[in-house]
């Protein structure tokens, strides 16, 4: 769906993108993360054909985005953080206008607006002027515009901004259903914790450079120490047994659960064996460490 | 390896869904993605959607001011037009209905108006010959025209001369207007009245009966029948008035059963005026349908080529060779040359007459095909006194010339352009400025909107908004010129099309300017400003090209001459002037003018397109 090779974007003396190469496949939610000013938005702009790269090349949906930016935009939908509105319009009219841009027939357009209004939680203000809406409501209107598009590729910049918990759940389900049909989402957010449960693959950008890319597991394996949280029948006994039987960096009991960090990831398979030998029941074993920690480490250049 | 200093617990399971499965498991074989590529139709649909959005914004914020502006412009244009029509009326020497402006003949220093004296009012009995005498009129120079006008039975009578005679039969009160003109074409007018009373005690008007409608073929003789007209005493006079040659040329027949050879196809509406011995008048009428006598249904087109301004004694050439018929079957060329009270008839594709007196000669050309279909054209020749060379008279001395219809076109084009600039340009600029300052234009570009779509949507302003204002304004402005509604609409349509070309060029230039601005230099670049101005001036080149192509096609030079003569703004055309300079500089003549007018804009257009392509892609380069 997306293939970028050595993308460079310079703004006079500033290099916003520095040899960024990435591939995004069909049917995945691709997360693109980085701090403010790292180059996320610039990268999206280049991939959407809204600005031209200073170097490198990129294909989106097999279309050369440098040569045919409008053709690319014909087939994608973009949710940008800088979306502006025609303040006099109501969300309904705004969405109708974009439906026309997408050349959707009137009956279908109206049906789509109705269904998207539910999904993006617009019902309470769909016929009010946009000028009177809050920032969160505006964000939902923008999101609705994107969701209306019958496009195989979505670029979503902070799609959950201003969305309440109930609708977030619905949206996540919608996104999962959307990609399960072979579509793709290029996703950015500041909330890595939430993103971890949505995104299939992560890419981290820092100071214009792509510093890491992979699934959550791959990145955690690569960048985080092997830490686990164990829910067992006897935490104290388990702690003592594991301390004796494994090479550990540390182990402690927190809130009735055992938390440990191995010196070598390969030792993880021995945990259950030791607990069986000690007659301790293992109810659940989870890896710990978040993608935020991964990002911090990649940004610092740390590798396990 | 540094262990994490603080461990963060993941959120509870019931709040978030489980992490997605590994991507490899999702690697399915999906159907092929078919990408859409917008063509011209999609671009136009989207442009119309933007235009629709813009219009509603404009309607909301600018409608009241637009209506006020419309009323203001309509008033101004109407006053201007009235003043202009009066000026033209004077310039063609027919003050007619009250034109008493202090105009003079070009190059004349005499601005003193003559004093017209028409003699006392009088009362006469029906059938009396009345002498109208203007010999008491005075002037510091010589008086050259005496024109007497009045209405008799709804028909305007014009008599020429210092002393004229007219026998008044119809009972009534006649308001007679005398216009005197001196040799410097200063004029003055006055009025007198003639009251006609019955010659006997009979005051009952006769009953006029013009007979039944008739249909005959062109070329046949028509016999009219007024025998069924009646009177309580005796009907003594039958006058049949009608207009032949496509309703342009007035004719009169007399008698109870006059005959007339109907040469021209078309309807003839006869007005029958019958009079009894006491002078009482009755009116009636009939219609005669003259059918084409052959299979050719389309009338020929009359075109005359004459010199509109000559000196006394000059031979005026009349040329109808540019007249044409779709079947090439023009049979007759008939010229009617009217001057004062005389009308002479000439024949032939080309002919001539000697302009023996100064003043206005009215030229009427009729061309007729084998089937009797007829096409007509009218024009005028202004004959200056000896000693004045028409070729040296500047256009400013007779600001609107004598070719009324063409100069109306020029005038209306100016009005259309002005009103377009005010209305459309104002609305356009308002919308565009709003979008730029508020940044809302970016909203559109996140959709499948190209710069081309954006520009096209703005160009729709002059095409669709302009006529809403321009057509009513033009009609209001032109009514004072006493043109037919059809002519007014045609003139307006042509002006509108010319205006649209200009406005589209302006819109295009503005869009380029905008694109230049969005290139994110702090100010629009000099290059993008140049594009805008050149595209405006480039409009002139369109006219110039058109004139050139028409001349090539018709093997004439008239279109180019017309462009140069009447398009005063041609002097602003860098292509024209530049072409002249370059041609003169390089080869010493301006014969290569047309080449330059093609080459220079072509280079600019190609260069502009290439340059703007670079600009487009970088529109959003800066946050």
Distance from CA of A293 to the nearest CA of B (A): 8
Q: pLDDT at position A247, please? A: 85
Give tens-digit pLDDT for B28-56: 567 777 777 777 888 888 889 888 887 77
* Pairwise CB contact (< 8 Å): B617 & A198: no
Sequence ranges of chain A with CATH classification 3.40.50.300: 2-215
- Asked if A51 has any chain B CB less than 8 Å from its own CB, the reply is yes
pLDDT band at B320 (very low <50, low <70, confident <90, very high): very high
For the ranges A148-152, B14-18, B487-491, B515-519, the lowest mean pLDDT is seen at: B14-18
Mark whether B377 and B400 lie in a shared domain: no
Query: Chain B partners of A84 at a C-beta cutoff of 8 Å?
Result: 438-440, 442-443
Identify from A70, A139, A229, A291 which residue to disrupt to test chain B contact, counting B C-beta atoms within 10 A and taking the largest count.
Answer: A70
Tell me the C-alpha distance between B239 and B229, whole Å: 12
Q: Which of A196, A201, A252, A198 is nearest to A228 (CA)?
A: A252
pLDDT of residue B599: 65
Q: Which residues pair with B369 in a beta bridge?
A: B330
DSSP bridge partners of B180: B146, B188
Measured between CB atoms, does A152 come within 8 Å of chain B?
yes
Do B358 and B465 share a structural domain? no
* Min Cα–Cα distance to chain A from B13, Å: 11
The band of A12, judged by pLDDT with boundaries at 50, 70 and 90, is confident
**Residue B279: exposure state from Cβ atoms within 10 A (0-12, 13-18, ≥19):** buried
Is B41 at the interface with chain A, CB within 8 A? no
Architecture of domain A2-215: 3-Layer(aba) Sandwich (3.40)
3-state secondary structure B467-536: HHHHHHHHHHHHHHHCCCHHHHHHHHHHHHHHHHHHHHHHHHHHHHHHHHHCCCCCCCCHHHHHHHHHHH
Residue B453 has pLDDT above 70, yes or no: yes
- Asked if the Cβ–Cβ distance from A196 to B19 is below 8 Å, we say yes
Top residue of B15, B19, B448, B616 to mutate, by most chain A CBs within 10 Å, is B448
Interchain pair B621, A194: CB under 8 A: no
In this prediction, residue B312 carries a pLDDT of 85
CATH number assigned to the domain covering A225-288: 3.30.70.100
What single-letter DSSP state applies at residue A126?
A: T
- Total of domains in chain B: 4
Angle at A75 between CA A74 and CA A79, to 5 degrees: 90
Q: What does the pLDDT average to over A200-209?
A: 88
pLDDT at B90: 43
Across the interface, whether the CB atoms of A97 and B53 are under 8 A apart is answered yes
- Return the residue of B nearest to A10 by Cα: B621
CATH code 3.30.70.100 region(s) in chain A: 225-288
Confidence at B354, pLDDT banded by 50, 70, 90: very high
Q: Which residues of B250-259 are buried (b: 16+ CB within 10 A; e: fewer)?
A: eeebeeeebe
Chain A residues closer than 8 Å to B444 by CB = 101
Least confident of A289-298, B184-193, B198-207, B342-351: A289-298
Mean pLDDT of A42-58: 85
Contact between A192 and A32 (Cβ < 8 Å):
no
Q: What is the mean pLDDT of residues A89-108?
A: 89
Using pLDDT thresholds of 50, 70 and 90, give the confidence band for residue B118: very high
Residue where a domain terminates, one of B351, B384, B417:
B384
CB < 8 Å to A290, chain B: 8, 10
The CATH number given to whatever domain includes residue B335 is 2.60.40.10
Q: Is the pLDDT of residue B7 over 50?
A: no
Using the beta-carbon criterion (under 8 Å), do B31 and A182 form an inter-chain contact? yes
Model pLDDT, residue B588: 58
A135 close to B (CB below 8 A): no
Q: Who has greater pLDDT, B565 or B232? A: B232
Query: Which residue on chain A is closest to B451 by alpha carbon?
Result: A70
Put simply, the chain B residues between 258 and 297 with a CB less than 8 A from any chain A CB are none
Residues B533 and B497 in one domain: yes
**pLDDT one-digit tens code per residue, B280-314:** 888 899 999 998 888 777 888 898 988 877 888 88
Q: B368 and B234 in one domain?
A: no
Domain that holds residue B276: 214-291
Q: Which tops the pLDDT comparison, B102 or B374?
A: B374
Is the same domain home to B545 and B446? Answer: yes
Instruction: Return residues 410-449 of B near A (CB < 8 Å).
Output: 438-440, 442-449
Most confident of A10-14, B40-44, B81-85, B184-188: B40-44
pLDDT band at B12 (very low <50, low <70, confident <90, very high): very low
Q: Residue B165 pairs with which residues in a beta bridge?
A: B131
Name every chain B residue with its beta carbon within 8 A of the beta carbon of A138: none
Which of B2, B3, B38 comes nearest A74 by C-beta? B38
More confident residue, A24 or B429: A24
B18 touches chain A (CB under 8 A): yes
**Does one domain contain both B609 and B522?**
yes
Kindly report which listed range (A90-94, B137-141, B358-362, B524-528) carries the lowest average pLDDT score. B524-528
Do the Cβ atoms of B447 and A102 come within 8 Å?
yes
Q: What is the rounded average pLDDT for all residues in chain B?
A: 73
Q: How distant is the Cα of A204 from the closest Cα of chain B, in angstroms?
A: 18
pLDDT exceeds 80 at position A83: no
Contacts of A182 in chain B (CB under 8 A): 28, 30-31, 33
Q: Are both B415 and B513 inside the same structural domain? A: yes
Tokens of B448: 């499948």
Residues forming a β-bridge with A285: A230
- pLDDT category at B510 given cuts 50, 70, 90 is low
How far, in Å, are A238, B200, B227, B357 from residue B236 at the CA level?
142, 14, 11, 39
| B383-394 pLDDT tens trace | 877 766 655 443
Give A-chain residues touching B38 at CB under 8 angstroms: 70-71, 74
Q: How many CB pairs (< 8 A) connect A and B? A: 148
* Partners of residue B440 in chain A, C-beta under 8 Å: 84-86
Mean per-residue pLDDT of chain A: 85
End-to-end CA distance of chain B: 40
Q: Are B437 and B496 within one domain?
A: yes
Q: What pLDDT score does B366 carry?
A: 93
Question: Considering CB atoms only, which of A25, A102, A261 is closest to B3?
Answer: A261
Distance, in Å, from the CA atom of A223 to the CA atom of A235, rounded to the nearest integer, reads 28
Within a domain: B115? no
**A228 membership: H or E segment, kind and range:** strand A227-232
User: Confidence band (pLDDT; 50, 70, 90) for B134?
Assistant: very high
Grade residue B107 by pLDDT with cuts at 50, 70 and 90: low
User: Is it the case that residue A216 has pLDDT exceeding 90?
Assistant: no
CB-nearest to B440 from A86, A101, A215 is A86
B425 with B558, same domain: the answer is yes
Asked if residue B334 has pLDDT above 90, the reply is yes
Residue B1 has pLDDT above 80, yes or no: no
- Test A176 with B446 for CB contact under 8 angstroms: no
* A270 has pLDDT over 70: yes
Answer yes or no: is B208 within a domain.
no
Q: How far is A51 from chain B (nearest CA, A)?
A: 5
Statement: residue B105 has pLDDT above 70: no
Tell me: do B334 and B458 sit in the same domain.
no
Give residue B29's region: left, alpha or beta (phi > 0; psi -120 to 50).
beta
B303 part of a folded domain: no
- The answer to whether A178 contacts chain B (CB < 8 Å) is no
Give the DSSP per-residue string, B73-87: HHHHHHHHHHHHHHH
Q: Does residue B43 sit at the A interface (CB-CB below 8 Å)?
A: no
Joined together, the tokens standing for residue B270 give: 């006869």
Within 185-214 of A, beta carbons closer than 8 Å to B belong to 193-194, 196-201
Of B160 and B540, more confident: B160
Contact A103 B45 (CB under 8 A): yes
Q: Is the pLDDT of residue A174 over 80?
A: yes
Partner residues linked to B250 by β-bridges: B243
> Does B8 reach chain A within 8 Å, measured CB to CB?
yes
Arithmetic mean of pLDDT, A190-201: 83
What local confidence, expressed as pLDDT, does residue B343 receive?
A: 85
Compare CB distances from A101 to B30, B438, B448 and report the shortest one's residue. Answer: B448
**B376 plus B485 within the same structural domain:** no
Q: Is there a single domain that holds both residue B317 and residue B435?
A: no
- Whether the CB of B25 is below 8 Å from some CB of chain A: the reply is no
Q: Give residue A135's pLDDT band: very low, low, confident or very high (50, 70, 90).
A: confident
| Angstroms from A109 CA to nearest CA on chain B | 14
Q: Is A157 on the interface with B (CB under 8 A)?
A: no
Choose between B556 and A126: higher pLDDT: A126
Q: Is A104 on the interface with B (CB under 8 A)?
A: no
Flag whether residue A220 sits within 8 Å of chain B, measured between CB atoms: no
Residue A225 C-alpha, separation from nearest chain B C-alpha, in angstroms? 6
């Amino acid at each position: 769906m997306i293939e970028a090779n050595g993308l460079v974007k310079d703004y006079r003396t500033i290099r916003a993108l520095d040899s960024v190469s990435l591939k995004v496949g069909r049917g995945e939610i691709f997360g693109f993360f980085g701090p403010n000013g790292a180059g996320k938005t610039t990268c999206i702009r280049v991939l959407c054909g809204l600005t031209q790269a200073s170097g490198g090349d990129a294909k989106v949906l097999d279309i050369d985005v440098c040569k045919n930016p409008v053709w690319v935009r014909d087939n994608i939908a973009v949710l940008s953080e800088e979306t502006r509105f025609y303040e006099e319009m109501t969300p309904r009219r705004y969405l109708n206008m974009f439906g026309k841009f997408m050349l959707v027939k009137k009956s279908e357009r109206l049906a789509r607006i109705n269904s998207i209004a539910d999904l993006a939680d617009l019902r309470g203000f769909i016929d009010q002027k946009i000028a009177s809406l809050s920032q969160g409501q505006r964000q939902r209107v923008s999101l609705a515009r994107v969701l209306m598009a019958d496009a195989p590729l979505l670029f979503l910049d902070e799609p959950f901004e201003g969305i309440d918990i109930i609708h977030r759940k619905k949206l996540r389900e919608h996104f999962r259903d959307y990609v399960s049909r072979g579509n793709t989402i290029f996703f950015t957010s500041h909330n890595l914790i939430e993103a971890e449960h949505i995104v299939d693959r992560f890419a981290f950008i820092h100071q214009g450079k792509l510093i890491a890319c992979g699934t959550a597991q791959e990145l955690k394996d690569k960048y985080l120490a092997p830490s686990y949280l164990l829910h067992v029948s006897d935490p104290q006994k388990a702690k003592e047994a594991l301390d004796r039987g494994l090479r550990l960096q540390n182990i402690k009991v927190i809130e009735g659960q055992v938390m440990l960090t191995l010196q070598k990831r390969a030792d993880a398979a021995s945990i259950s064996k030791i607990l069986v030998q000690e007659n301790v029941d293992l109810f659940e074993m989870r890896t710990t460490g978040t993608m935020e920690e991964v990002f911090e480490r990649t940004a610092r250049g740390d590798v396990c | 390896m540094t262990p994490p200093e603080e461990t963060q617990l993941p959120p509870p399971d019931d709040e978030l869904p489980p992490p997605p499965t590994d991507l490899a498991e999702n690697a399915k074989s999906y159907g092929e993605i078919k990408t859409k590529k917008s063509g011209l139709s999609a671009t136009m649909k989207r442009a119309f959607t933007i235009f629709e959005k813009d219009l509603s914004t404009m309607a909301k914020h600018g409608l009241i001011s637009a209506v006020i502006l419309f009323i203001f412009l309509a008033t101004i244009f109407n006053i201007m037009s009235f003043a202009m029509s009066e000026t033209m009326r004077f310039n063609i020497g027919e003050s007619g209905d009250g034109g008493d402006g202090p105009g003079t003949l070009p190059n004349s220093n005499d601005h003193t108006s003559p004093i017209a004296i028409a003699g006392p009012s009088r009362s006469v009995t029906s059938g009396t010959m009345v002498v109208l005498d203007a010999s008491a009129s005075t002037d510091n120079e010589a008086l050259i025209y005496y024109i007497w006008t009045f209405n008799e039975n709804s028909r305007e009578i014009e008599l020429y001369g210092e002393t004229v005679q007219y026998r008044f039969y119809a009972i009534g009160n006649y308001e007679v207007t005398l216009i005197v003109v001196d040799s410097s074409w200063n004029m003055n007018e006055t009025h007198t009245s003639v009251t006609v009373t019955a010659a006997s005690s009979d005051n009952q008007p006769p009953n006029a009966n013009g007979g039944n409608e008739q249909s005959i073929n062109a070329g046949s003789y028509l016999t009219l029948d007024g025998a069924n007209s009646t009177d309580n005493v005796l009907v003594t006079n039958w006058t049949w008035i009608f207009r032949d040659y496509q309703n342009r040329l007035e004719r009169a027949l007399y008698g109870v059963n006059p005959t007339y050879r109907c040469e021209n196809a078309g309807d003839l509406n006869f007005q029958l005026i019958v009079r009894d011995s006491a002078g009482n008048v009755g009116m009636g009428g009939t219609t005669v349908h003259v059918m084409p006598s052959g299979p050719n249904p389309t009338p020929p087109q009359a075109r005359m080529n004459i010199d509109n301004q000559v000196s006394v004694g000059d031979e005026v050439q009349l040329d109808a060779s540019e007249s044409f018929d779709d079947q090439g079957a023009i049979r007759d060329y008939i010229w009617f040359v009217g001057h004062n009270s005389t009308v002479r008839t000439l024949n032939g594709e080309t002919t001539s007459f000697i302009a023996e007196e100064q003043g206005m000669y009215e030229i009427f050309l009729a061309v007729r095909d084998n089937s009797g279909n007829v096409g007509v054209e009218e024009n005028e020749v202004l004959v200056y006194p000896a000693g004045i060379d028409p070729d040296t008279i500047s256009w400013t001395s007779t600001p609107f010339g004598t070719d009324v219809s063409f100069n109306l076109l020029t005038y209306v084009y100016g009005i259309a352009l002005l009103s377009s600039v005010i209305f459309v340009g104002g609305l356009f600029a308002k919308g565009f400025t709003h979008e730029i300052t508020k940044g809302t234009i970016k909203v559109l570009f996140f959709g499948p909107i190209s710069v081309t779509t954006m520009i096209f949507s703005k160009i729709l302003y002059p095409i669709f908004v302009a006529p809403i204002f321009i057509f009513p304004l033009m009609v209001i402005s032109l009514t004072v010129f006493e043109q037919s509604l059809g002519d007014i609409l045609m003139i307006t349509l042509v002006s509108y099309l010319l205006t649209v070309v200009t406005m589209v060029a302006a819109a295009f230039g503005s869009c380029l300017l905008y694109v230049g601005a969005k290139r994110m230099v702090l100010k629009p670049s000099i290059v993008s400003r140049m594009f805008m101005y050149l595209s405006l001036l480039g409009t002139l080149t369109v006219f110039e090209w058109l004139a050139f192509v028409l001349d090539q096609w018709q093997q004439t030079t008239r279109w180019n001459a017309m462009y140069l003569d009447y398009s005063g703004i041609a002097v602003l055309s860098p292509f024209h002037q530049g072409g002249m300079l370059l041609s003169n500089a390089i080869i010493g003549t301006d014969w290569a003018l047309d080449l330059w007018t093609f080459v220079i804009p072509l280079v600019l257009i190609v260069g502009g397109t290439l340059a703007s392509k670079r600009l487009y892609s970088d529109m959003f380069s800066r946050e």
